[in-house]
Amino acid sequence: MGNRNGKMKLTFLGTGTSTGVPVIACNCDVCQSLDSKDKRFRTSALLSVGDSNVAIDCGPDFRIQMLRHKVDNLDAVLFTHAHRDHIAGLDDIRAFNYILNKTIDVYGSSETLASVREQFPYIFIPGRYFGVPQLNMHTIEDAPFSIGSIEFQPVQVMHQELKVFGYRVKDFTYITDANFIAPEQLDKVRGSKVIVLNALRNSRHVSHFSLSEALGILEELKPERAYLTHISHFLGKHDIVESKLPPNVHLAYDGLQIEL
């Protein structure tokens, strides 16, 4: 998979919450839906510029997401935070190590990378054997940084009591797993033409924006386009929810690609 025209593109690799959709053993209308847009892997995305690809998170569905989209090059993985639904696929980086014969750069906050080391201790032990992911770990702070030619501005949001990084690139901002954004951090998002924001369900949740809360933030920021992600089966069927959204707001779905 490449983006050879040099334009920036985002592919929604997954748009579901930590359980995915359908949920195991659930017989609700959403989980039993035959609409492909109601089938959601765990949330992650691929940002492509030219032949460069940066994965934002790599959850438990990472391997099949890479295969589904025929991703044959990966330059870096950029973590938002260290919950398992966002990092559990890290071991599958091995394939890129083998095929591309290179070490993969991994970026995250100091807290996120410390948690990654705790959850994948075999990757980091001295004298590790060949068959583990080969990673270059890069600690980022709440300050701009670059991956290749792409400059990222972190946006610190709160996921209940956990600090999570969203990211702004030029006129595009990607935020997942948030239920609060401080005013000074929201100012970093202002002026974005395209915003991706989490909207878990219709009712309030302890650590995620509800649909109405997400729409309230988007009404304040007024992007040209917005896409909602990190969706649970409680939100409803894709087409029904989509039909009720403002004209500039869309429900993201797995496989959706947007130019930025």
Give yes or no for a contact between 176 and 208, defined as CB atoms under 8 angstroms apart: no
Q: What are 47-83's pLDDT values in tens digits?
A: 999 889 999 999 999 999 999 999 999 999 999 999 9
**This prediction's pTM:** 0.96
Structural domains for the chain: 3-251 (3.60.15.10)
> pLDDT in tens for each of the 260 residues of the chain?
555 557 899 999 999 999 999 999 999 999 999 999 999 999 999 999 988 999 999 999 999 999 999 999 999 999 999 999 999 999 999 999 999 999 999 999 999 999 999 999 999 988 767 789 999 999 999 999 999 999 999 999 999 999 999 999 999 999 999 999 999 999 999 999 999 999 999 999 999 999 999 999 999 999 999 999 999 999 999 999 999 999 999 999 999 999 99
Contacts of 146 (CB under 8 A, 6+ apart): 152
Could you write out the DSSP letters of every residue in 180-219? B--HHHHHHHTT-SEEEEE---SS--SSS--HHHHHHHHH
**Per-residue pLDDT at 5:** 59
Contact by Cβ (8 Å): 19, 137: no
**Ordered DSSP codes for 34-56:** --GGG-BPBSEEEEEEETEEEEE
* Beta pairing, strands 225-229 & 249-251: parallel
Please tell me the distance from the alpha carbon of residue 7 to that of residue 50, in angstroms, as a whole number. 6
Strands (DSSP E) found in 51-125: 52-56, 76-78, 104-108
